[in-house]
């Protein structure tokens, strides 16, 4: 044990040396020679000494001198690279706090601001204590410093504090990750307004490097774009920070550049990893273990990650290299000195052992899996759920997979269960960032749900497997719909007027906030658009922040009356019992698909019996993926001729690949109706048109007389079925706004006869302003029971939020704008347009992003939409028959929209040439009137097209292309 007197003598000696010359070259050798005295007692000694000496100094100048020396001492000990680094930071923080008792803001504003800035740095890099608390302390210190260090008075210091603040936001635990990173990027960009390359090259380069790291971690916008931004920033940095002039900063930039290359999406994966390894090896030329032990360990850990992922060379050699690098890192990253990096490296080592266990034989593999389990378990001792929920979930995730491979199924189940609960907790913490951040979180953890489903099936937990399937699907829309009708309790209000005002404001905010979030996401979807629309982005951010502040203020007002009310609630997963309750009777079955990594599952659920399961072989999934590739490749061709001609035969083949015969054997014989819940790419397909086994002239529709309807997920179906709406008596229609759809007018003018009242915006009157901004039309839209859009539509595969319906003057009603519509009286939206039912199939989390989702959120429980670019004449006949069937169904029941649509589809498919001619005779006066309005050239084209249809024998619309493209989604 160190003698306190000896320790005090050392401290006083250090202060005397610093007072004479605070240079690290002078101070650090003395510290290095007395490392044993910088122990846990030193902090208390420093505090005791200060409280004894400083108050008894008779002259303010002496107190100032002592405070100045302690401040300089704190600077030196904070940066001292030897000894116990965690303890060094504690000593520095204590010294800064002591100095702050003398250098107050009122008496010494400049020194106080500098002290706050340095104290913020100490908290930002502090090792002990909760990471979240340290970050908040650091942010508070930097913000305090900026009260004095304004841009006008101290521009350079202001810029440097902005940089420091950006670094803390980059690593902040509390709040939403997306918001924190946007805050960080904003801080760096603010600092760069002062620190230009010409005036402050070194600071400019440092800011570029920090900005690069923030872009690398950024959640909003495409990951590929962010990484390219990061790589560009780091490269810019290296133009200034050369190895010769700035060896340490050069090496740290090489480290950051290596990190960006290791995650890079563009280019060849192998090339990027080789680039990353090269950068890390360059960094080690300067960042040696002796001079920079902590950074050296970080590089060793990152080299381990790169070799684990490396493609070039033997996989076994690369994994063994990775394990060696991780062990090297652990020579410095001890649990005592660096608990969090230690836990991170244990986690990475566990992953490497898991990979290696899959390469070695069973005996060695079991030993390696045990090592992996040990590493993950040790990491969990530090990375607790409360402090590090993301890391905790990751460790539980990999621990579950290690148990799964080791056939310890119950332990795997519990690990996955903990991981999923934590991921869903993290999801609940994302409030301000919108759907994009939540979608990325869901995609990141998709394999966790897949693993849990497999474990549940192995343990015989069939109903739990279905529940976890549901928990992985369409969560964004589920949450939006579930919270849409959440209101405070009227009983707590003094009067009805105040209650109604609050409810109206809630309704408005719940429409406007998601809309603004989507508009902002669209503007920052790429680097080019972000640069092009920078001013508009800032304006949108301002508008969104204003709405969120209004929401928070409103919530405070409501909570004064109803303290239990929240703007959003955590949506509970749907239990299996509630899934069964979705089925109206014992003559209805629900068929749900789920795609795993190597096969797909088909669950068959009925009202009264236990669920049944059909599992494919790996070859079936390979065949399905090949089928889908060919289908989409042909559909992407401009004329789509080959796709149309092969659609029927392809649907026959899909029947075989999905093993429809085996599935139907599990559906009760008395079943009259089916609800289909597809997964991922299956959402794009007309599953209802698959041919029946051994009856290729019949399809799935023919087997179920009460129809086939679709649902994105069971929970979304539940939410739509809970929405009671008036029956279809009031129509609001959009009719041929672009004036180039010859049969849209025939369609709408015929349909409107089936309603008691109808308001139709015809051609040039169907503007966006009329639909959204005109108060009279807004009231009619709000009170309508049915919305019918006979217009052009388009699904934007690259940016689904930009999918649209085209209105007059070629104005686009985008998906983001559809979310803002108020159609809470609407029972049915019919999108008689092209590609209105397509969704984002690139999302492995199966988020339901497409035009139907917008109308479901806006208020309609049922949407009829199309899966491809539909034929205009066939669509007109199909829609006319659909509404005729719907009108005949005087009794409201679940599925009546699907029944009416399916009956119309079968009618159109089976329509004979003779019956078609009779229909034409009925509508010919209207058709001739429409054609007469066309120019001569267009009229000839339309007449020739009609002639080709009349020449098709024996059934003009027999091909699935003409009748199978529309589906009924919802109740």
| Exposed/middle/buried for residue 774 (C-beta within 10 Å: 0-12, 13-18, 19+) | middle
Average per-residue pLDDT for the chain = 90
Cα dihedral 971, 566, 168, 204, rounded to 10, equals 60
Predicted pLDDT of residue 527 = 54
What is the rounded distance in angstroms from the CA atom of residue 207 to the CA atom of residue 187? 10
If we measure between CA atoms, which residue out of 907, 909, 248, 800 comes closest to residue 525?
Answer: 800
Predicted pLDDT of residue 256 = 93
Q: Are 204 and 252 in contact (CB under 8 A)?
A: no
If we measure between CA atoms, which residue out of 907, 912, 947 comes closest to residue 927?
Answer: 947
Cα distances (Å, whole numbers) of residue 424 to 13, 369, 548, 578, 606: 55, 28, 22, 20, 29
Going by their DSSP bridges, the two strands 673-677 and 588-595 should be labelled as parallel
pLDDT classification of 792: cutoffs 50, 70, 90:
very high
Token readout for 168 is 């803390």
Predicted pLDDT of residue 441 = 77
Whether cis (ω within 30° of 0) applies to the bond prior to 453 is: no
Task: Give tens-digit pLDDT for 390-416.
Answer: 888 888 888 898 888 888 999 999 999
Residue count of the chain: 971
In this prediction, residues 333-360 reach a mean pLDDT of 86
Predicted pLDDT of residue 363 = 54
Task: Give tens-digit pLDDT for 428-460.
Answer: 777 655 667 777 778 888 999 999 999 999 999
Cα dihedral 196, 199, 202, 208, rounded to 10, equals 10
Predicted pLDDT of residue 364 = 64
Is the pLDDT score of 750 beyond 90?
A: yes
Task: Give tens-digit pLDDT for 517-554.
Answer: 877 777 766 555 666 677 787 788 788 888 888 988 99
Q: For the chain, count helices (H), then strands (E).
A: 42, 16
Q: What angle do CA 429, 431, 432 make, to 5 degrees?
A: 135
What is the rounded distance in angstroms from the CA atom of residue 15 to the CA atom of residue 31? 11
Q: Are 71 and 322 in contact (CB under 8 A)?
A: no
- Residue 588 β-bridge partners: 673
Q: Are 404 and 455 in contact (CB under 8 A)?
A: yes
Helices within 640-743 (DSSP H only): 641-657, 660-665, 700-703, 714-721
Task: Give tens-digit pLDDT for 803-837.
Answer: 999 999 999 999 888 988 889 899 999 999 999 99
In this prediction, residues 245-262 reach a mean pLDDT of 93
If we measure between CA atoms, which residue out of 923, 478, 514, 361 comes closest to residue 713?
Answer: 478
Task: Give tens-digit pLDDT for 696-712.
Answer: 789 999 999 999 999 99
Q: Which helix (H) or strand (E) holds 862?
A: strand 862-866
What is the rounded distance in angstroms from the CA atom of residue 663 to the CA atom of residue 677? 14
Q: Which residues, at least 6 apart from 812, have a Cβ–Cβ distance to it below 8 Å? A: 768, 804, 805, 806
- What DSSP character marks residue 573? P
Q: How many CB atoms lie within 10 A of CB 757?
A: 13
Cα distances (Å, whole numbers) of residue 563 to 6, 387, 575: 59, 28, 29
Cα distances (Å, whole numbers) of residue 310 to 227, 231, 306: 19, 20, 6
What is the rounded distance in angstroms from the CA atom of residue 837 to the CA atom of residue 856? 12
Cα dihedral 717, 720, 721, 725, rounded to 10, equals -160
Predicted pLDDT of residue 30 = 92
Task: Give tens-digit pLDDT for 211-243.
Answer: 999 998 887 777 888 899 999 999 999 999 999
Predicted pLDDT of residue 541 = 78
Predicted pLDDT of residue 82 = 86
Cα distances (Å, whole numbers) of residue 568 to 42, 420, 429, 436, 555: 49, 20, 11, 18, 10
Is the pLDDT score of 892 beyond 80?
A: no
- Strand segments (E) across 711-791: 730-735, 757-762, 786-790
First-to-final CA distance of the chain: 76
Task: Give tens-digit pLDDT for 373-382.
Answer: 988 888 888 8
Task: Give tens-digit pLDDT for 154-189.
Answer: 999 999 999 999 999 988 867 777 788 889 999 999
Predicted pLDDT of residue 435 = 67
Please provide residue 747's backbone torsions phi and psi, each rounded to the nearest 5 degrees: -60, -55
Predicted pLDDT of residue 433 = 55
Predicted pLDDT of residue 891 = 63
- pTM to 2 decimal places: 0.77
């Amino acid at each position: 044990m160190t003698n306190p007197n000896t320790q005090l003598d050392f401290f006083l000696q250090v202060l005397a040396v610093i007072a004479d010359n605070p240079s690290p070259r002078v101070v650090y050798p003395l510290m290095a020679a007395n490392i044993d005295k910088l122990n846990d007692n030193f902090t208390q000694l420093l505090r005791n000494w200060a409280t004894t000496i400083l108050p008894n100094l008779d002259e303010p100048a002496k107190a100032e001198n002592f405070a100045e020396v302690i401040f300089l001492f704190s600077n030196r000990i904070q940066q001292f690279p030897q000894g116990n680094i965690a303890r060094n930071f504690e000593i520095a923080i204590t010294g800064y706090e002591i100095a702050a008792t003398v250098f107050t803001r009122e008496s010494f504003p400049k020194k106080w601001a500098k002290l706050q800035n340095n104290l913020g740095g100490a908290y930002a890099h502090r090792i002990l204590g909760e990471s979240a608390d340290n970050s908040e302390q650091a942010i508070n210190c930097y913000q305090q410093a900026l009260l004095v260090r304004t841009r006008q008075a101290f521009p350079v210091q202001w810029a440097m504090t902005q940089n420091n603040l950006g670094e803390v936001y980059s690593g902040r635990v509390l709040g939403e990750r997306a918001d924190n990173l946007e805050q960080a990027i904003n801080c760096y960009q603010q600092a760069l307004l002062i620190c230009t390359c010409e005036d402050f090259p070194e600071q400019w380069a440092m800011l570029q490097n920090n900005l690069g790291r923030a872009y690398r971690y950024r959640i909003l916008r495409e990951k590929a774009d962010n990484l390219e931004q990061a790589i560009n920033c780091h490269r810019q940095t290296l133009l200034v920070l050369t190895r010769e002039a700035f060896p340490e900063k050069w090496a740290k930039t090489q480290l950051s550049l290596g990190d960006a290359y290791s995650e890079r999406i563009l280019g060849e994966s192998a090339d990027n990893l080789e680039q990353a390894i090269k950068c890390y090896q360059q960094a080690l030329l300067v960042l040696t273990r002796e001079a920079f032990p902590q950074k050296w360990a970080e590089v060793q850990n990152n080299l381990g990650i790169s070799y684990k992922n490396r493609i070039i060379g033997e996989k076994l050699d690369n994994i063994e290299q990775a394990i060696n690098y991780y062990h090297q890192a652990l020579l410095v990253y001890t649990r005592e000195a660096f608990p969090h990096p230690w836990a991170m490296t244990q986690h990475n080592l566990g992953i490497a052992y898991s990979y290696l266990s899959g390469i070695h034989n069973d005996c060695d593999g079991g030993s390696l899996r045990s090592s992996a389990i040990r590493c993950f378990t040790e990491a969990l001792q530090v990375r607790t759920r409360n402090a590090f929920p993301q890391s905790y979930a990751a460790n539980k995730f990999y621990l579950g997979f290690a148990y799964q491979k080791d056939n310890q199924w119950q332990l795997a189940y519990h690990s996955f269960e903990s991981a999923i609960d934590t991921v869903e907790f993290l999801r609940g913490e994302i409030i301000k960032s919108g759907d994009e951040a939540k979608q990325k979180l869901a995609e990141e953890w998709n394999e966790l749900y897949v693993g849990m489903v497999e474990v549940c099936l192995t343990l015989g937990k069939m109903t739990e497997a279905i529940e976890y399937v549901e928990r992985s699907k369409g969560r964004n829309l589920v949450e939006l719909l579930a919270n849409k009708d959440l209101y405070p309790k009227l009983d707590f209000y003094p009067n009805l007027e105040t209650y109604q005002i609050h409810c109206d404001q809630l309704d408005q905010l719940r429409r406007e906030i998601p809309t603004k979030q989507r508009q902002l996401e669209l503007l920052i979807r790429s680097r080019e658009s972000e640069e092009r629309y920078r001013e508009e982005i800032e304006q949108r951010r301002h508008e969104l922040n204003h709405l969120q502040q209004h929401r928070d203020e409103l919530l405070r007002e409501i909570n004064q009356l109803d303290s239990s009310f929240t703007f959003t609630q955590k949506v509970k997963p749907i239990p299996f019992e509630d899934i069964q309750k979705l089925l109206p009777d014992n003559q209805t079955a629900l068929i749900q698909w789920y795609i795993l990594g190597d096969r797909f599952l088909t669950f068959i659920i009925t009202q009264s019996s236990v669920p049944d399961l059909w599992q494919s072989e790996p070859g079936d999934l390979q065949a399905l993926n090949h089928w889908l590739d060919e289908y989409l490749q042909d559909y992407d061709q401009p004329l789509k001729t080959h796709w149309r001609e092969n659609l029927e035969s392809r649907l026959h083949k899909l029947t075989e690949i999905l093993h429809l015969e085996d599935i139907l054997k599990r559906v009760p014989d008395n079943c009259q109706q089916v609800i289909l819940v597809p997964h991922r790419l299956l959402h794009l397909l007309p599953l209802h048109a698959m041919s029946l086994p051994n009856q290729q002239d019949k399809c799935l529709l023919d087997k179920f007389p009460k129809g086939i309807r679709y649902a994105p997920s069971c929970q979304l179906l539940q939410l739509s079925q809970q929405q009671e709406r008036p029956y279809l008596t009031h129509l609001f229609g959009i009719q041929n706004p672009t004036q180039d759809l010859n049969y849209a007018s025939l369609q709408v003018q015929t349909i409107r006869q089936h309603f008691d009242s109808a308001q139709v915006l015809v051609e040039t009157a169907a503007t966006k302003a009329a639909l959204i901004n005109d108060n009279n039309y807004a009231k009619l839209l709000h009170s309508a029971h049915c919305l019918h859009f006979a217009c052009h539509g388009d699904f934007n595969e690259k940016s689904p939020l930009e999918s649209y319906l085209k209105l007059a003057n070629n104005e686009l009603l985008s998906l983001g704008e559809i979310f803002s519509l108020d159609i809470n009286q609407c029972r049915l939206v019919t999108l008689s347009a092209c590609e209105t039912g397509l969704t984002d199939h690139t999302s492995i989390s199966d988020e339901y992003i497409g035009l139907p989702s917008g109308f479901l959120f806006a208020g309609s429980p049922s949407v009829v939409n199309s899966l491809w670019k539909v034929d205009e004449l066939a669509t007109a006949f199909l829609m006319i028959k659909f509404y005729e069937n719907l009108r005949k169904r005087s009794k409201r029941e679940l599925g009546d929209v699907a029944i009416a649509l399916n009956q119309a589809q079968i009618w159109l498919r089976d329509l004979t040439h003779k019956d078609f001619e009779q229909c034409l005779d009925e509508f010919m006066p209207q058709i001739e009137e429409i054609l007469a309005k066309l120019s001569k050239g267009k009229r000839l084209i339309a007449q020739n097209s009609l002639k080709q249809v009349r020449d098709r024998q024996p059934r003009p619309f027999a091909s699935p292309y003409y009748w199978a493209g529309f589906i009924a989604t919802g109740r």
